[in-house]
Amino acid sequence: MSPLRVHACAKFNLGLEVLGRRPDGFHEMRTVIQSLALSDVLDVYPAPSGLALECSDPSLPSGEENLVMRAARMLQEAFSCRKGARLRLLKRIPVQAGLGGGSADAAATLLALSRLWRLPGRPADLMPLAANLGSDVPFFLCGGTALGVGRGEEVYALPDAPRLEVVIALSPRGMPTARAYEQLDGRLTRANRVHTIQEIVQGIAEGKVGEGLLFNRFEEVSGQPEGDAAALRRALEKGGEGRLLLAGSGSAWLGLFSSREPAQESVRRMSHQGSRGILTHTLTRKDYWELTIPSQEKESLR
């Protein structure tokens, strides 16, 4: 039997400001989030009962601690559903890179199993579950370009930002999100750049990205790029084109380009330096949903 297949697309932040710790222990933030074409692939198969996950990355857990399993279990409980499923996850988004892979997988699980089990599966129906799974998960039920506020779980769709070509470079060490926030806490008394987030939003409304405004507060604690990321920086400096930006809370770095040719040239320069860059691009909201959910499944998810 053919599986039901859903793609879980990566994301990055065009702007990310952390304002401080909230009474609930989370951090208050303002961010502009953008979808990428790079994706994991989730296949789901029906089962009479129970849940089982197979993952292509042996370093990741396949039990209840995996966000895919947590999302599946939460969906079962929310709708008192006793049906089961087998899930197979192909990982292509690097882990602990700041690209939202785990959160994207959780959102894809909610969408796919809602279809498989014939539950209410519109994104609006699933938002409360997504917010309980993690601060980044609601964005993946929106896609495209969006403003995130609160702890990031309040998501507001923005007009599509102009397309960017993106080169992803990995650092030798991953960065767990909790550790990144701990390192940032001591620096949050400095003046914030909420006004810059507002300027990014305004620029997008005017049909431009405003690359000179893009920033990520976590760059203050990330240290200098290493490994592939250092090679990307050298490639950018040599080529004279592109903008280097940290992905989420780290550890991947991104080279942002307005056209494909200089992005490809940057990847070639990295290769000559013995490093690997992953070439992808940003997605409009329409393209995000075209990639996320196969066309033959869309009617059942509306």
Query: Does the residue 297 lie in any domain?
Result: no
Per-residue model confidence (pLDDT) at position 253: 95
Q: 267 with 142, same domain?
A: no
20 Cβ neighbours under 8 A, 6+ residues apart: 27, 28, 188
Query: Does the residue 120 lie in any domain?
Result: yes
Domain that holds residue 262: 165-281
Query: Does the residue 287 lie in any domain?
Result: no
Query: Does the residue 247 lie in any domain?
Result: yes
Q: 97 with 113, same domain?
A: yes
Per-residue model confidence (pLDDT) at position 174: 63
Average pLDDT, the chain: 90
Mean pLDDT within 89-100: 95
Looking at the predicted structure, is the pLDDT value of residue 187 above 80? Answer: no
Q: 143 with 201, same domain?
A: no
Q: Is 136 a catalytic residue?
A: yes
Establish how many alpha carbons lie within 13 A of residue 38's alpha carbon, considering only the half-sphere containing its beta carbon: 23
Structure confidence at residue 189 as a pLDDT band (50, 70, 90) = low
pLDDT tens digit sequence for 210-222:
778 899 988 887 7
Q: How far is CA 298 from CA 53, 127, 241, in A?
A: 24, 18, 39
Query: Does the residue 292 lie in any domain?
Result: no
Q: 248 with 170, same domain?
A: yes
Q: 29 with 144, same domain?
A: yes
Residue 67's closest CA among 151, 130, 14? 130
Query: Does the residue 289 lie in any domain?
Result: no
Q: 154 with 169, same domain?
A: no
pLDDT tens digit sequence for 120-158:
878 888 999 999 999 999 999 999 999 999 988 899 999
Q: 174 with 201, same domain?
A: yes
Q: Is 228 a catalytic residue?
A: no
Q: 12 with 153, same domain?
A: yes
- Among 136, 160, 228, 287, the one annotated catalytic: 136
Looking at the predicted structure, is the pLDDT value of residue 99 above 70? Answer: yes
Query: Does the residue 212 lie in any domain?
Result: yes
pLDDT tens digit sequence for 252-263:
999 999 999 999
How many independent structural domains does the chain possess? 2
Please confirm whether the linkage preceding 251 is cis (ω < 30° from 0): yes
Q: 154 with 226, same domain?
A: no
Structure confidence at residue 300 as a pLDDT band (50, 70, 90) = very low
CATH number of the domain bearing residue 67 = 3.30.230.10
Of 159, 194, 216, the residue that ends a domain is 159
Would you say 256 and 166 are in contact if contact means Cβ atoms under 8 Å apart? yes
Mean pLDDT within 174-183: 66
Looking at the predicted structure, is the pLDDT value of residue 233 above 70? Answer: yes
Q: Which residues of 55-72 are buried (b: 16+ CB within 10 A; e: fewer)?
A: bebeebebeeebbbbbbb
Report helix, strand or coil for 166: strand
How far apart (Å, rounded) are the C-alpha atoms in residues 31 and 178? Answer: 18
Per-residue model confidence (pLDDT) at position 192: 75
Per-residue model confidence (pLDDT) at position 302: 43
The CB density around residue 3, as the number of other CB atoms within 10 Å, is: 17
Per-residue model confidence (pLDDT) at position 301: 45
Could you tell me the sign of the dihedral formed by the alpha carbons of 209, 211, 277, 32, in that order?
negative
Looking at the predicted structure, is the pLDDT value of residue 299 above 50? Answer: no
Q: 108 with 141, same domain?
A: yes
pLDDT tens digit sequence for 35-86:
999 999 999 999 999 999 999 999 999 998 999 999 999 999 999 999 999 9
Of 111, 128, 159, the residue that ends a domain is 159
Structure confidence at residue 275 as a pLDDT band (50, 70, 90) = very high
DSSP assignment, residue 125?
H
Of 133, 159, 185, the residue that ends a domain is 159
